[in-house]
């Protein structure tokens, strides 16, 4: 069984590599990837990513990439994460990678709820999800999908499928102020009196008029300002306490979360990066580094993200958990491996920043 799984993951890794190769070939055909697209804004605007030429030609950037590559060494699980983390665009959704490669998109589909940890479920789509943590005093959720329709057609029925009552969702922590993370929150707040927690900075962000929004987008309902989170704050519900840190970069107040969970009965800590690992400037890189330091300190062992596919083959791992729930959890690394993974993320993020300085002289 183990052998079969290893082969399966090896094939997945090969497929990912083949995709990378296709992407590179396509980018060359397009003249150095001018048509590429990165997902999600940054607090520094659209010029926060180096071009492929800058990234390839900056000796400083490539020295950092080499450091990250060497840390992964011969560990294929770290190699897979290195592949996802390092590059001019950093971790990107599979759909974006496919689009940049000129490949047809993978359709969005609703996922069956999956029990990722003993006390944590994933619900939502293959491209964006929400996380459900039942506690001794009700349900804690992270994120709320895109809109009211998702709340009615996905959040409520998924909770019922798991055997939970949507009326018991006491708090939703929103990772950052974008609609795909808080869209369903106003409905939950109104219908069930669910508390909505977000960084103060991102409450401010969503309440500012958005000059780019038009028509129905501009009219989409917002949650009413509720719990304002600050750096290092703890959010407790019953027997669960989540600690958050502010990691600006994708938005001014994107959150990193430290979440204690149980994996096959064993207590472990996991890290969630809602702002992906987008570090458009030094201040942002420092905040991420301190968030990653803290993850090491609490011996975190798994990384999750609202968008599956950003840091690994997350939807594949979810299927694997569904099919073989008693096998080791593919999300979970050893604390030592995870520490190395945080170093890989750190060097890869820094490599993008230093590549921005490349002006074609070294």
Residues in touch with Zn ion (CB under 5 A)? 40, 178
Least CB distance from residue 96 to Zn ion, whole Å? Answer: 13
CA-based nearest residue to 259, from 141, 356, 347: 141
Q: Which is nearer to Zn ion, 202 or 263 (CB)?
A: 202
Exposed/middle/buried for residue 53 (C-beta within 10 Å: 0-12, 13-18, 19+)? middle
Q: Which is nearer to Zn ion, 170 or 220 (CB)?
A: 220
Which whole-number Å values give the CA distances from 212 to 35, 215, 249, 353, in the listed order? 22, 10, 19, 27
Least CB distance from residue 308 to Zn ion, whole Å? Answer: 14
Least CB distance from residue 211 to Zn ion, whole Å? Answer: 17
Least CB distance from residue 40 to Zn ion, whole Å? Answer: 5
Distance CA 214, CA 212 (A): 6
Least CB distance from residue 352 to Zn ion, whole Å? Answer: 18
Least CB distance from residue 255 to Zn ion, whole Å? Answer: 11
Residues 6+ away with beta carbon under 8 Å from 209: none
Give the ranges where 48-91 is alpha helix by DSSP (H): 52-57, 59-72, 76-85
Q: Cβ–Cβ contacts within 10 Å for residue 211, how many?
A: 7
Q: Which is nearer to Zn ion, 150 or 263 (CB)?
A: 150
Q: Which is nearer to Zn ion, 178 or 340 (CB)?
A: 178
Q: Tokens 């020295």 sit at which residue?
A: 63
CA-based nearest residue to 48, from 349, 361, 362, 359: 349
Q: Which is nearer to Zn ion, 274 or 351 (CB)?
A: 274
Q: Which is nearer to Zn ion, 36 or 178 (CB)?
A: 178
Residues 6+ away with beta carbon under 8 Å from 346: 288, 289, 292
Distance CA 248, CA 350 (A): 15
Q: Which is nearer to Zn ion, 84 or 178 (CB)?
A: 178
Cα-Cα end-to-end distance for the chain? 51
Residue with the shortest CB distance to Zn ion: 178
Q: Which is nearer to Zn ion, 40 or 249 (CB)?
A: 40
CA-based nearest residue to 117, from 316, 328, 305, 276: 328
For residue 351, report the phi and psi dihedrals to the nearest 5 degrees.
-60, -35
Least CB distance from residue 182 to Zn ion, whole Å? Answer: 10
Least CB distance from residue 73 to Zn ion, whole Å? Answer: 32
């Amino acid at each position: 069984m183990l052998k079969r799984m290893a082969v399966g993951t090896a094939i997945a890794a090969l497929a990912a590599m083949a995709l990378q190769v296709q992407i590179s070939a396509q980018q060359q055909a397009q003249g150095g990837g001018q048509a590429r697209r990165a997902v999600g804004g940054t607090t520094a605007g659209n010029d926060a990513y180096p071009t492929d030429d800058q990234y390839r030609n900056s000796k400083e950037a490539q020295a950092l990439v080499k450091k990250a590559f060497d840390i992964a060494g011969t560990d294929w699980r770290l190699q897979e994460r290195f592949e996802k983390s390092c590059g001019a665009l950093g971790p990107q959704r599979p759909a974006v990678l496919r689009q940049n490669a000129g490949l047809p998109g993978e359709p969005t589909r609703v996922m069956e709820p999956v029990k990722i940890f003993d006390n944590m479920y994933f619900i939502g789509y293959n491209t964006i999800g929400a996380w459900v943590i039942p506690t001794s005093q009700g349900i804690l959720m992270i994120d709320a999908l895109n809109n009211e329709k998702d709340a009615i057609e996905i959040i409520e029925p998924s909770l019922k499928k798991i055997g939970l009552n949507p009326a018991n969702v006491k708090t939703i922590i929103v990772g950052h102020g974008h609609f795909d993370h808080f869209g369903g929150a106003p409905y939950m707040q109104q219908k069930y009196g669910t508390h909505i927690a977000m960084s103060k900075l991102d409450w401010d962000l969503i309440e500012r008029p958005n000059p780019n929004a038009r028509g129905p987008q501009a009219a989409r309902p917002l949650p009413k300002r509720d719990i304002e989170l600050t750096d290092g704050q703890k959010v407790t519900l019953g027997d669960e306490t989540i600690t958050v840190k502010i990691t600006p970069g994708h938005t001014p107040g994107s959150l990193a979360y430290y979440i204690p969970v149980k994996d096959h009965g064993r207590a472990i800590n996991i890290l969630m990066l809602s702002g992906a690992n987008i570090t458009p400037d030094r201040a942002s890189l420092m905040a991420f580094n301190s968030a990653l330091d803290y993850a090491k300190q609490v011996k975190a062992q798994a990384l999750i993200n609202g968008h599956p596919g950003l840091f690994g083959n997350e939807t594949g791992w979810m299927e694997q958990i569904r099919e073989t729930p008693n096998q080791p959890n593919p999300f979970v690394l050893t604390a030592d491996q995870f520490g190395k993974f945080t170093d890989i993320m750190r060097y890869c993020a820094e490599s993008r920043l230093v590549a921005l300085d490349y002006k074609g002289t070294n």
